[in-house]
Amino acid sequence: MNDDAEIVTEFLVESHENLDQLDRDLVELEQSPDSRELLSSIFRTIHTIKGTSGFLAFGRLEQLTHHGEDLLSRLRDREMTMSNDVAEVLLRMVDTVRALLDSIETSSVDTDPSVPVEDVVTLLARVLAGEPLDPDASPVTEAVGEPEPEPAPEPELEPEPSLEAVADADPEPAPEPEPQPQAAAPTNEPDVDPVLEAVAEPTGDEDPTARRGVVDASVRVDIDLLDGLVQLVGELVLTRNQILQRTDATTAASDDAELVRAAQRLDLVASELQESVMRTRMQPIGQVWSKMPRIVRDLAHQLGREVNLEMEGHDTELDRSLLEALKGPLTHLVRNALDHGLEPPADRVAAGKVAAGRLYLRAFHESGQVVIEISDDGRGIDPDKIAAAAVARGVITREQLARMEPREIIALIFRPGFSTAEQVTNVSGRGVGMDVVRTSIERIGGSVDLMSTVGAGTLCRVRIPLTLAIIPALVVGEGGERYAIPQANLVELVRLEGADLRQAVDVLAGAPVLRLRGRLLPLVSLSEALGGRRPDDEGGPLTVVVVQADEIRFGLCVAEVHDTQEIVVKPIGRQLKAIPMYAGATIMGDGRVSLILDVAGIARDRVLVSAQHTEPEARSGNVDSRALLVLEVSSGRRAALPLTAVSRLEEFSLDRIERSGSAEVVQYRDGILPLVRLAPAIGLPESPLTEDQISVVVHEDGGLRVGIVIDRVLDVVEEAVVPTDVGRRPGVLGSAVVQDKVTDLVDLEAVVRPVLAGALVGAR
């Protein structure tokens, strides 16, 4: 109920604003009756009011606007031309809409009999039918201005003369309305033409307090002004921090009790001011949601779906600019849910569900973020279908696919150029889909996740910060400077020392990686990312900030971790715009400038993005430029595997090797990992054992794992490799010169096939 009242209030405010615009548009239209742009604008306004009134069950309002819309659409489509009659009727319709809105505002219903909806509908119908309103033409001005004996219950309600009566009263033809010189004032009332002035008159005359409705309870403020305020408050907060530092009792440089008290008061006031100012920019998400019933209704109709729309959390507020940026993506997600998610009623019934699908929108605040969930109980997303489409479209390679979790596969639909709609409808499936949604959400610092169960439905969760201007961030230190990492990118902090450090961090060919709960994360040292050299921290403790951006998760090694604080994001100059590592700058409590790191930018700059999710590489001729893992086998011989085929690197002590039939296996992650020794598999003698452990490259294929035993990993190279047929033999595709040395290119499939075949047989 409360929600409803709120929606109605929003509807009223919005509609009043729209009507003011409409008045201006209509007047302008009389001057340029051919302007399609104006007609479209007017049409849209009426259309919007109609849509919402339908949703809110204001039947008379809907009826009225429906007829108005008819007339307008004829005009817009040039099936009718603008005439005085038409203009008159349109203006009258607008006035009546206004009267109905006022009636709704005071009595919450639109059934007030004093509002002559039916008369106007009749008039609209007559104009539509091409009948003249009156042989004497429409004597507008006098008519409306003429005092109406009937007392209107709402003071601002325009007197409601029926046009026929008016015509009788005044035989004088209406003057051409426009030639009067008018001040082109930006406000809505003064620049309306005489007709409307007359109409608007009663409003101006009344007691100002009588009409202190929803429209007047708020003030429209230029958004630049608000932005300016936010800026200033940001400064104030920083200055306050500086003062607090100096008056802090523990470090007190002064024992001026008055000053300390004043500083505390300043602290309080500044905090409250900050909160209030931020709130001025906050708007409830209901603003976007109020449009959803209509969108859903139309789409459902168009797509032949039955949908029950449920919405929760209308009053969840977020920053205005974010709300604006969210409209598009949310609408898109709703469309997707209807088009791809919910099945047609017949299919649903066949699947044992109720015919009407459920679309559930929910918004709430969670740990300083706004979470918006869009869920449906439709068919869900089938990872296999996605996977097949992704491979077919070259979004990923088969090897990459083999190593992906179902959740990662579902996330593929966010990749550019991806659409699985079997049939391109006019609603969705034109290939500009989820990637755009994700990009626009990430642009405002948010993230989007999909969870889906085949046959049961899909949940799309969008997280966005409350505001863009002030964000929580982790402050880290490096090279004497401090840098801020937005909290949104932060996953966890890991500190490693001594034995843990040696165990968790492997250096593969100079590239450090971190084993974190079974996952390999690339490690990037912040100082290196910032163009310095990697710090010489052999054995010393290592602080890793695990960050996530653009689907890539990696560890950022930093020298120090300070604290988490709210920072005011400020732009940086154009001289620095080209540097990908920075998202902006901020000012710390001590007045110094700190840079805000752009985690996604760092990932791109360090070419990490290719480590997990490579774009399909361009291959020309027989030049294969994929990254290779270069290994040593058979005491000094070199062999190479495509890096994409490697899911993990492990070391096992010799006593862990067990036998299963003729095969060597180790117990590995709750399963059995069959081993294949690479040297014999590619026709080389095995090297004598020198250590008490073996190095293993774990390869995964369709859920089956194979461990490939090697001597050691030499390097990861990303150079173009020209394979030759030299040295081709079972298990070897050929040789190539890698880093100036002849290297066997391992035919992975041939090497693992016997093992996998055995595993499959064993599985059956």
Partner 1 sequence: MSTATGVLARQYCTFWVDGLHFGLSVEHVQEVLRYQQLTAVPCAPDAVLGLINLRGQIVTALDLRCRLGLPPRPAGELPMNVIVRSRGEVVSLLVDDIGDVMDADELTLQPTPANLPVTVQDVVSGVLPLTDSILLVVDADRAVDVSTVPDPTTTGGPS
Report the alpha-carbon distance of residue 236 to residue 270 in Å, rounded.
7
Residues 6+ apart with CB under 8 A from 117: 60, 61, 63, 64, 96, 100
**Whole-number minimum distance, CB 605 to partner 1, in Å?**
9
* Amino acid residing at 105: E
- The backbone region for 670, taken as left when phi is positive above 0, alpha when psi lies in -120 to 50, beta otherwise, is left
From the CB of 585, what's the least distance to partner 1, in Å? Answer: 5
Using the minimum distance from each CB to partner 1, give the nearer residue, 581 or 627: 581
Q: How far is the CB of 224 from partner 1 (least distance, A)?
A: 15
Q: Which two tokens stand for residue 697?
A: 């490259």
Beta carbon of residue 244, minimum distance to partner 1 (angstroms, whole number): 17
3-state SS string for 162-176: CHHHHHHHCCCCCCC
* Smallest separation, CB 412 to partner 1 (Å): 33
β-partners of residue 438 are none
Q: Report which of 358, 351, 354, 356 is spatially closest to residue 374, judged by C-alpha positions.
A: 358
CA distances, 554 to each of 16, 513, 546, 548, 608 (Å): 51, 9, 6, 7, 8
- For 738, list phi and psi in degrees, rounded to 5: -120, 125
Amino acid of residue 633: V
Closest approach of Cβ 556 to partner 1, in Å?
A: 14
CA atoms of 105 and 215, how far apart (whole Å): 10
* CB-count burial class (<10 Å; 0-12, 13-18, 19+) for 424: exposed
Distance of CA 760 to the CA centre of its chain: 43
Q: How far is the CB of 475 from partner 1 (least distance, A)?
A: 13
78 sits in the region (left: phi over 0; alpha: psi -120 to 50; else beta) called left
Beta carbon nearer to partner 1, 288 or 587:
587
**Closest to partner 1 by CB, 571 or 671:** 571
Residue 719: how many CA atoms within 13 Å on its side-chain side?
Answer: 14
Structure tokens at 150: 């009937």
Instruction: For residue 422, give both structure tokens.
Output: 């079997």
* Parallel/antiparallel/unpaired status of strands 560-568 and 552-558: unpaired
Compute the least distance from the CB of residue 221 to partner 1, in Å: 22
How far is it, in rounded angstroms, from Cα 197 to Cα 159? 13
Q: Which two tokens stand for residue 88?
A: 């008159």
**CA-CA distance, 592 to 490, in Å (whole number)?**
23
**How many whole angstroms from its chain centre is CA 120?**
44
Q: Closer CB to partner 1, residue 580 or residue 758?
A: 580
Judged by CB, which is closer to partner 1: 235, or 315? 235
Residue at token pair 């290297």: 743
Nearer to partner 1, 208 or 573 (CB): 573
**Closest separation in Å from C-beta 624 to partner 1:** 32
The least CB distance from residue 562 to partner 1, in Å, is 15
CB of 527 to partner 1, least distance (A): 8
Q: Residues with Cβ < 8 Å from 272, sequence gap 6 or more?
A: none
Strands 628-633 and 637-642: antiparallel
Q: How many Å apart are CA 90 and CA 69, to the nearest integer?
A: 10
Q: How far is the CB of 581 from partner 1 (least distance, A)?
A: 6
Shortest spacing between CB 582 and partner 1, in angstroms: 7
CA 261, CA 705: separation in Å to the nearest integer?
Answer: 67
CB of 245 to partner 1, least distance (A): 15
- Interface with partner 1 by CB under 8 A: which residues? 231, 234-235, 238, 479, 481, 530-532, 570-576, 578-579, 581-582, 585, 587, 591-595
Nearer to partner 1, 231 or 425 (CB): 231
CB nearer partner 1, residue 239 or residue 687: 239
Beta-sheet pairing, 369-376 with 357-366? antiparallel
CA distance 344 to 506: 53
Q: CB nearer to partner 1: give 395 or 585.
A: 585
Nearer to partner 1, 235 or 310 (CB): 235
Task: Tell me how far apart the alpha carbons of residues 674 and 701 are, in angstroms, rounded to a whole number.
Answer: 13
Q: Using H for helix, E for strand and C for coil, what is the string for 406-418?
A: HHHHHHHHHCCCC
Q: Of the two residues 13 and 238, which places its CB atom closer to partner 1 in the complex?
A: 238
Closer by beta carbon to partner 1, 147 or else 573: 573
